[in-house]
Amino acid sequence: MRSFLLLFVLSCSVSVGALAEPFYNAKPLAHPLIKSSQESGATLAFIREAEGVVGYSCLCDSPDGAPQVLDRYGDASVESVFYASLDSDLQTLVVLSRAKGQYALHGYRFVPSTGTYRRLETLQPALDRIAANRKVLNAAIVQKALGALPPYAYGAVVPVTGIVEFDTLNPADGTLVGYFGVDGVPASAGQPAEDPHRDTYKKTFQQREGRWLTLTYERVSPGDEDVGAAYSVSRMAWETRPQLYRGSEDGMGAIMGDRQLWALGSYAQGKKSGQWKEFGPSGDESTGAYVDGVRQGPWVISDRGTVSKGMIVDDFYEGRWTIEGYDDEVLMSGFDTYKHGDFDGPSERVRQGEVIQRGDFVAGIQHGDWKMPWGEGRYVQGVREGRWTLKVEGGGVQTVDFAADKMHGELREVDAAGVLRRVEHYRAGVLDGLKETYAANGKLTYSAHYANGQIEGRALTYTDDGAVLLSDISWRYGSREGAFRLYHPNGQPDTVATYEKDEPIGNVQSFDANGVLIADRNYCHVPDGKYTRIKLCGKQRGAFNNGHFDSESDYLFGNEQSARHTQDGRNVREVLLGPDDRVTHKEYYPSGQLKSSEARQGFRLITVYGREHKDYSYAKREGETVYYYPTGVVERRMTFKDDKIVGCYTGYDEAGVQNFPPPGGCPPPKPVVFNFGE
């Protein structure tokens, strides 16, 4: 007993010791612990350490949760930790500290993708101004001061422009000029910040020689780490009249959005002037000059590895533009011709010294003889007309006529060796007429007729070498209708049937490759209201095995009447008809041992096509039903009368000893209880 108690105590002590202690346990806190912070669910702890106060955040409930350094505050006291909504519904964590009589503020944003906080450097100058020279400062005062700031996405990343005076700006600084609506009309002073008419505002940062360095901020949709709408920088420029929405830009300017630089260049009296660079979302880049706000002169367009060079006149492509780039790592070159921004004139593409595309445009539409990577032919006002040759995988070629851009007439296909492999006939782009395919030896492999795109009549399919017929199927309006024959590759019949509206009707027989019958099914029409359906009728045999069928049954208009199913010579299921309209259902264990025997009697009298039939699938349980253990011993017996059990069943254990009902007789029936709470 003492040894058991000792083992129990030791196991308890090991379990307790295995539990990791909280990272802040027994450490001096500079601020009350914050568990499950509202914006992240993390634990926040501000601990006094040798070098000063260190803030930590920890998603300690997660499997890989470990404390992360939030920030270091030096020899300070943490006065308050609170939250503020600055640029969206996403919370910003604010820490108010004090050292040597001076207050300090720091702001943080939780990043769900990394599970950590990052410091909002953009917000820091505004926080410094709020805390400067304060004798009294608390959460309420800070939140009020932050609420007075123009809305801004403090977590946004401002793209680098390469212009020092732009890249050194802090968008949270500056002097507010005013708000503007969607159409650039100045917004009323009394409108709230969240008013949809206040979609833009502007700030000035520097003044020089009658111009102001101005930033424009636009309302943007929330990003992955934001919940509500916010504002981010959309334009940087020197302006002579910042109070105007646009039109007074003069000097260098940059257009940006979605954390990307879109354009960089200079303005003159409100219009783009001189050299500009414009950038696309996938790394595209365009370089050229603007004159009086429109593109003029030579431009270079780089788009996903393809470089185009040419002239732009009054903002429209003009003349010959050369193209160089790589297609599947192979050098490709060529040119296009433009007139007032539309393709107009010759166009060409060359790949590894071979012309793969050549033709002419007229007013932006292909016209005349064209060579394309996939074929050659003639366009008439952008529509394929007349004879075309089309390339086929493997070096083959198809020839076919087009009318109004649709195949019309005979299509002939030859392989790389010039052997005829396909013949098809089309009318207005759909199959209409004979379709044939051929093997490399010239023999027929498929033959069928089509009418308005649907297969019609006999369709013959042969082996790949054309030596043996594999199928002979009759079709009507795209559905199987009539004789249906499938063959094995040795020529022996596989399936022999007749189809009606895509369903088998009558006798369906299947054979193995030696000609032995392996399945025999029968189908018939069964009335169903105003219509008829095709269902199983009569004798059904299947799964031929070792000289006999494993499955034999008899159906009456879709309903099983009798059945015998075996597997590997052992019984699986039986439905047996007896005298006096008696029906016996039997099921067997995989070993072949009888599992259950159920007696039924009766039928439903049905009339089909004027004749009455007995349908034994509606027979009711009548007489004794017996269940057996796998050993053959009776498990229970019960008696039915008109499909209802009479008395109670008698149960036995596997030794054959009766174990039910109990000595007192059948227990009373259990009342039905309805549980409405579930």
CA distance 228 to 222: 5
CA distance 561 to 619: 10
E strands present in 139-199: 175-180
User: Across-strand partners of 625?
Assistant: 598, 638
CA distance 424 to 409: 8
Please tell me whether residue 468 adopts helix, strand or coil conformation: coil
On the 0-12 / 13-18 / 19+ scale of CB atoms within 10 A, 345 is middle
What average pLDDT does this structure show over 444-454? Answer: 97
Q: Report CA Rg, the chain.
A: 43
Nearest to 256 by CA among 287, 220, 230: 220
Q: 42 near 108, Cβ under 8 Å?
A: no
What average pLDDT does this structure show over 500-529? Answer: 95
Q: Summarize pLDDT for 421-438 with one digit per residue, the tens.
A: 999 999 999 999 999 999
DSSP string, 33-44: EE-S-TTT--EE
Q: 290 near 265, Cβ under 8 Å?
A: yes
pLDDT at 155 over 80: no
Give the model's confidence band at 223: pLDDT under 50 very low, under 70 low, under 90 confident, else very high: low
| Helices 139-147, 124-131: inter-axial angle, 10-degree rounding | 130
Q: 150 near 229, Cβ under 8 Å?
A: no
Please tell me whether residue 481 adopts helix, strand or coil conformation: strand
Q: Which two tokens stand for residue 263?
A: 């354009």
pLDDT at 115 over 80: yes
CA angle in degrees (0–180, nearest 5) for 315-321-326: 120
DSSP string, 274-291: EEEEEE-TTS-EEEEEEE
pLDDT at 1 over 50: no
What average pLDDT does this structure show over 314-319? Answer: 98
Give the model's confidence band at 16: pLDDT under 50 very low, under 70 low, under 90 confident, else very high: very low
Per-residue confidence (pLDDT) for residue 63, from 0 to 100: 73
Query: Computed from CA positions of residues 390, 396, 400, 406, in that sequence, does the dihedral angle turn out positive or negative?
Result: negative
pLDDT at 112 over 90: no
Q: Summarize pLDDT for 293-303 with one digit per residue, the tens.
A: 999 999 999 98
pLDDT at 12 over 60: no
Q: 595 near 589, Cβ under 8 Å?
A: yes
Query: Computed from CA positions of residues 589, 593, 599, 603, in that sequence, does the dihedral angle turn out positive or negative?
Result: positive
The region of weakest confidence among 18-27, 342-351, 544-553 is 18-27
Residue 126 CB partners (closer than 8 Å, separation 6+): 146, 149, 172, 173
CA distance 30 to 74: 11
Please tell me whether residue 592 adopts helix, strand or coil conformation: coil
How many residues appear in the chain?
678
Give the model's confidence band at 537: pLDDT under 50 very low, under 70 low, under 90 confident, else very high: very high
User: Across-strand partners of 493?
Assistant: 487
Per-residue confidence (pLDDT) for residue 3, from 0 to 100: 38
Query: Computed from CA positions of residues 206, 211, 213, 217, in that sequence, does the dihedral angle turn out positive or negative?
Result: positive
pLDDT at 408 over 70: yes
Residue 577 CB partners (closer than 8 Å, separation 6+): 561, 562, 583, 616
pLDDT at 345 over 60: yes
Q: Which two tokens stand for residue 281?
A: 């979302």
What average pLDDT does this structure show over 462-478? Answer: 97
Displacement of CA 230 from its chain's centroid (Å): 29
Helix (H) or strand (E) holding 142: helix 139-147
For 466-485, b/e burial (b = at least 16 CB within 10 A) is: beeebeebbbbeeebbeebb
CA distance 486 to 489: 10
Give the model's confidence band at 182: pLDDT under 50 very low, under 70 low, under 90 confident, else very high: confident
Q: Which residue has the tokens 């008109």?
A: 642
Displacement of CA 56 from its chain's centroid (Å): 39
Q: How many CA atoms lie within 13 A of 643 on its CB side?
A: 5
Of the segments 86-90, 147-151, 273-277, which one has the largest average pLDDT value?
273-277
Q: Which two tokens stand for residue 200?
A: 């833009």
CA distance 125 to 132: 10
Per-residue confidence (pLDDT) for residue 673, from 0 to 100: 53
pLDDT at 15 over 50: no
Q: Summarize pLDDT for 592-625 with one digit per residue, the tens.
A: 999 999 999 999 999 999 999 999 999 999 999 9
pLDDT at 550 over 50: yes
Cis peptide before 125 (omega within 30 of 0): no
Q: For residue 344, which phi and psi values (nearest 5 degrees)?
A: -160, 105
Give the model's confidence band at 304: pLDDT under 50 very low, under 70 low, under 90 confident, else very high: confident
Q: Summarize pLDDT for 393-402 with one digit per residue, the tens.
A: 999 999 999 9
Nearest to 493 by CA among 514, 462, 478, 522: 514
CA distance 369 to 388: 10
Between the alpha carbon of residue 246 and those of residues 290, 292, 596, the distances in Å are 17, 15, 90
Mean pLDDT of the residues in the chain: 91
Per-residue confidence (pLDDT) for residue 675, from 0 to 100: 53
pLDDT at 389 over 90: yes
Q: Summarize pLDDT for 251-267 with one digit per residue, the tens.
A: 999 999 888 999 999 99
More confident residue, 1 or 564: 564
Type of residue found at 612: E
pLDDT at 20 over 80: no
Residue 593 CB partners (closer than 8 Å, separation 6+): 628, 630, 631, 632
Query: Computed from CA positions of residues 306, 307, 310, 314, in that sequence, does the dihedral angle turn out positive or negative?
Result: positive
CA distance 237 to 265: 10
Q: 526 near 559, Cβ under 8 Å?
A: no
CA distance 417 to 444: 17
pLDDT at 131 over 50: yes
Tell me 560's DSSP state: E
What average pLDDT does this structure show over 289-311? Answer: 96
